[in-house]
C-alpha cells in the first residue's frame, strides 16, 4: 500500500501545520484507492473541535458529513484524514491509537516539517497499532 500526493498538496499541509504552532490542524483526504495505491485528489480542511486541540483533534462533524456526501455524489472516496502534531512527534500518539479503528482510512500526520502516512490495525480490545505506509510525492 502506498499514498500518492502532489507536492503542492504536501506543501499545503506543511504550511497549515506551521501556521498553527499551538493547536493541531486537521482535515480530510478525498481521492481514489486503486490496487493498493491511494491517490490524494483534494484536501478538505476542517475545524478542529476537540476539547483539547493542543493535544488532540476532532474533525468538525458538519465537514465530515458534507464531505462524505459530496464524495458519494462525485464517485470519489474519503480515503483518510490528516492532522498535525505541534510537539513535532511524527508517530501517532497514544490518543490517536485509542480512537483508531481498522477501517482502511489513511492517517496523515504533519510534524517536525515532515508528512508521514499510517494505517491503523486494531485486532481485539485495546489500542490500535499503526503501520507506516510509503508516500510518493508526484
58 binds Zn ion (CB under 5 A): no
Site for Zn ion in 85-114 (CB under 5 A): 93, 96
Query: Which residue has the CB atom at the shortest distance from Zn ion?
Result: 96
Nearest approach in angstroms of CB 96 to Zn ion is 4
Give the whole-angstrom CA distance, residue 17 versus residue 8: 14
Nearest approach in angstroms of CB 11 to Zn ion is 20
18: enclosing H helix or E strand: helix 7-18
Site mask for Zn ion (CB under 5 A), range 116-135, x = bound: --------------------
Q: Tell me, by CB under 5 A, how many residues bind Zn ion.
A: 2
Nearest approach in angstroms of CB 89 to Zn ion is 8
Nearer to Zn ion, 67 or 116 (CB): 116
Nearer to Zn ion, 29 or 71 (CB): 29
Of 61, 65, 45, 23, give the one whose Cα is nearest residue 108.
45
Give the whole-angstrom CA distance, residue 28 versus residue 129: 21
Q: How would you classify residue 36: left for phi > 0, otherwise alpha for psi between -120 and 50, otherwise beta?
A: left
Nearer to Zn ion, 7 or 94 (CB): 94
Give the whole-angstrom CA distance, residue 110 versus residue 84: 4
- Phi, psi angle pair for 113, to nearest 5°: 75, 20
73: enclosing H helix or E strand: helix 61-74
Nearer to Zn ion, 28 or 71 (CB): 28
The residues that touch Zn ion, with contacts defined as CB under 5 A, are 93, 96
Amino acid at each position: 500500500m502506498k499514498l500518492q500526493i502532489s507536492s503542492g498538496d504536501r506543501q499545503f499541509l506543511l504550511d497549515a501545520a506551521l501556521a498553527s504552532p499551538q493547536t493541531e490542524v486537521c482535515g480530510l483526504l478525498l481521492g481514489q484507492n486503486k490496487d493498493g495505491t491511494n491517490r490524494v485528489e483534494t484536501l478538505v480542511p476542517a475545524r478542529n473541535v476537540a476539547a483539547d486541540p493542543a493535544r488532540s483533534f476532532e474533525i468538525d462533524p458538519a465537514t465530515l458529513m458534507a464531505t462524505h456526501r459530496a464524495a458519494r455524489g462525485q464517485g470519489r472516496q474519503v480515503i483518510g484524514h490528516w492532522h498535525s502534531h505541534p510537539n513535532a512527534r511524527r508517530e501517532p500518539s497514544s490518543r490517536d491509537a485509542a480512537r483508531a479503528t481498522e477501517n482502511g482510512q489513511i492517517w496523515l500526520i504533519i510534524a517536525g516539517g515532515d508528512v508521514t502516512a499510517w494505517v491503523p490495525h486494531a485486532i481485539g480490545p485495546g489500542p490500535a497499532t499503526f503501520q507506516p505506509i510509503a508516500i510518493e510525492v508526484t
